[in-house]
Chain A
Amino acid sequence: NAGVTQTPKFQVLKTGQSMTLQCAQDMNHNSMYWYRQDPGMGLRLIYYSASEGTTDKGEVPNGYNVSRLNKREFSLRLESAAPSQTSVYFCASSGGLRGTQYFGPGTRLLVL
């Protein structure tokens, strides 16, 4: 039982490049989330998916897109990376919208 897994662990991009961050959970959770963590800013919600087939914007969605591929997987795509997107990205899942959120280990992204 791995919980929430994220790939890659670390990535360096050049400005304008694209990439997809992968997230998978094996807890049969309905809801999944993407956050970014920046010093002094806490965790900010980028996008979330309340259930398979639905996605909604969070607090800071600009520059990102998401895909809820199936119940297990929720990916985050940066179409044209910018230095402002340098951050640590966390995926989380929960059994319902009111449930405890379980976080993955994070992806550290550096955009040059």
Chain B
Amino acid sequence: QQQVKQSPQSLIVQKGGISIINCAYENTAFDYFPWYQQFPGKGPALLIAIRPDVSEKKEGRFTISFNKSAKQFSLHIMDSQPGDSATYFCAAAYNQGGKLIFGQGTELSVKP
């Protein structure tokens, strides 16, 4: 059973546009929601993370929006650049420990 559902599976955006990736979770015990970025042939790396006591977190061009009542969170990439082309994973963790449950991943391609 997939506890974290991510969409879309792939996304093509023009340079300068906004990329939006959505995730939904089921378990209300999750209390930590990171996003990881993965370039081809590399391991994932933490991009940005949020806890459910805030509705938004921004770091540069990357913003997480969090809706606790809807059990959804999303990643917005403003002014998308070709260098942002990568696979993005949302994840969630239980408060009992650090096991991360990952979404299925979104392959983002930013066209010049």
Instruction: Report which A residues bind B (CB closer than 8 A).
Output: 4, 31, 40-45, 48, 50, 58-59, 90, 92, 94, 96-106
Contact = CB atoms under 8 A, between A and B. Distances in A.
Nearest to B105: A42
Contact of A42 (B42, B49, B104): B104
B80 interface: no
A98 B98 contact: yes
Interface of B: 4, 6, 9, 32, 34, 41-46, 49, 89, 93, 97-105
Contacts of A103: 43-45
- Please give me the 7 A-B residue pairs with the lowest Cβ-Cβ distance, nearest first: A103-B43, A97-B98, A42-B102, A97-B97, A43-B102, A42-B104, A100-B46
A60 to B, nearest CB: 12
B97 A50 contact: yes
Contact of B42 (A44, A100, A105): A105
A44 to B, nearest CB: 7
A92 B99 CA distance: 11
5 contacts: A42-B4, A43-B102, A45-B99, A94-B98, A100-B34
Given A40-B9, A98-B32, A98-B93, A45 B44 contact: no
Given A40-B9, A50-B97, A104 B43 contact: yes
Contact of B44 (A59, A90, A94): A90
